[in-house]
Chains A and B, each alone.
Chain A
Amino acid sequence: MFIKEYLSDIYHATKSLLTGMRRTGYYFVNPKEIITEQYPDNRDTLKMADRFRGEVIMPHDENNQHACTGCTACELACPNATIKIITKFDVTPEGKKKKALDTFVYHLELCTMCNLCVEACPTDAIKMGQNFEHSVYDRSMLLKKLNKPGSKIREGVE
């Protein structure tokens, strides 16, 4: 009985080791499996994953309009004060005052790409961008204004 157990131990150990060696051996003879991206060389063809979070961006359409109502939900959701919303009051054609976005201040140097602001946004005005090449020589250059100059809120977004 002891001998049987002893031999079966050896058999199973050898078998599991050979399974591992077969896997690495397969990778060794199949160099096309290599997943390394030759980054600076393939910059033009580099394809990032869909869910990659590089920075917060605010998409603008062709009329230079965005979907941000200035509700500050993202500012409240942000865990480390990355976002600062400055609002103003627009005057509607009926002569009423309406709260609107003046400046969307985004501190990239504080951002941890946690995605909470995107989830908090009720109008899908912001999303995570794919760009990751953020190196600059001065930290102040990381402070960004996300809404383009002269942009307005899109019609119908409340």
Chain B
Amino acid sequence: MFSLQGITNGIQNFLKANFGATGVLIIESVIVMMLAITLFATLGLVLVWMERKVAAQMQIRSGPNRVGPMGIFQTSADTLKLILKEGLTPDGADKFLFNLAPFVVMIVAMLLLAPIAFAKGFQVWDINIGVLYVSAVSSLSVIGILMAGLASNNKYSLLGAMRSGAQIVSYELSAGLSILAIVVLTGSLQIGDIINAQQNGWWLFKGHIPVIIAFIIFMIAATAETNRAPFDMAEAESELTAGFHTEYSGMKFALFFLAEYINIFIVCAIGATLFLGGWMPFHIGNWQGFNHIMDFIPSSVWFFAKTFLLIFLIMWFRWTFPRLRVDQLLNLEWKYLLPISLFNLLLVTVIAILGWHF
């Protein structure tokens, strides 16, 4: 049966046999870096194409269909165009911060990749505070956005960055509280433990209604944190041209664009891990036969299927809902999501203490 764990173990043993401990570490780091960059490039191309196709179908259009079959090479062509374009730096911009900002956003996205389990035994770093690490590092991306907005010497950029700051700081709260619901049920912050706890069913089904509410709140907060419609106040094409990346062009713009899609992938991967069991196949309680059949589908397929399901959900939101006004956005968080998720956390705690979950 296809298994990524087998491949990694094979490589590990081969390297151990041929190199010293330091050599193994260096070579493995290089391999991980290459894999991360490859994953990012592929995800960027695939997700942008997917977004355009989904958007088109939902708006009764056909989307890109000229470059390659069903337009699959459209994004490659766009990337080529962006590479060839000149990366302008506007007069009066803070050159250092302006050029640094896209890389900060990108590096934050790369850091978030570390604790994600892509398949059984295929994880860069199963850190024991995995969930805390994710929620801490994901809030750093706002620094890159603020940097871009401040350095651009453009009012639209500044406004977009400020809105983005207010938005991400607010929505971090309810995202954190809904993640906490799963942490309470599992009793561990480690991603590996959280996945293993879903051996006999995913938390979404095991945890009754409170976990479903937590899941909905998490998806709303994730949409807001990735600055996507209906919460795309930071970009808001019709109000701020392009918000914080108004002044960016060429490859620097492409990095922002790529980081946006990588962030979507990562928050969806986190959501899939916490609520839908990550790479864990679909198991029902103690139905040994059924569970065994489900185990035949490779764990990496399960992980990517769940993640792309959530990505599709977020795209569905984007192409259905109108953009919120900035005060409505903050109302939604502080008047609705935060009180509900606090109350919900209480319910989950009661369930966890009394052992009512399956």
Contacts and interface: CB of A to CB of B under 8 A. Distances in A.
Interface of A: 10, 17, 20-21, 23-25, 27-28, 31, 33-36, 38
B172 to A, nearest CB: 22
A38 B61 CA distance: 11
Given A17-B321, A20-B321, A36-B62, A31 B316 contact: no
A119 to B, nearest CB: 34
A34 B316 contact: no
Contacts of A17: 320-321
Contact of A24 (B61, B62, B316): B316
B321 A28 contact: no
Contacts of B62: 34, 36, 38
Contacts of B290: none
B61 A36 contact: yes
Interface of B: 54, 57-62, 316-317, 319-321, 336, 340
Contact of B320 (A24, A33, A36, A38): A24
A24 B336 contact: no
Nearest to B340: A10
Contact of A27 (B60, B317, B321, B340): B60
Contacts, number: 37
A109 to B, nearest CB: 31
Contact of A34 (B57, B317, B319, B321): B57
A123 B77 CA distance: 56
Nearest to B230: A17
A131 to B, nearest CB: 25
B225 to A, nearest CB: 19
A110 B98 CA distance: 48
Kindly list the 9 A-B residue pairs having the minimum CB-CB distance in the complex, ordered from nearest: A24-B58, A24-B320, A20-B320, A36-B62, A28-B57, A21-B320, A36-B61, A28-B58, A35-B60
Contacts of A27: 57-60
Contacts of A23: 320
Contacts of A24: 58-59, 316, 319-320
Given A25-B316, A28-B316, A34-B57, 12 more contacts: A21-B316, A23-B320, A25-B58, A27-B57, A27-B58, A27-B59, A27-B60, A28-B57, A31-B57, A34-B61, A34-B62, A35-B60
A4 B232 CA distance: 31
Contacts of A21: 316-317, 320
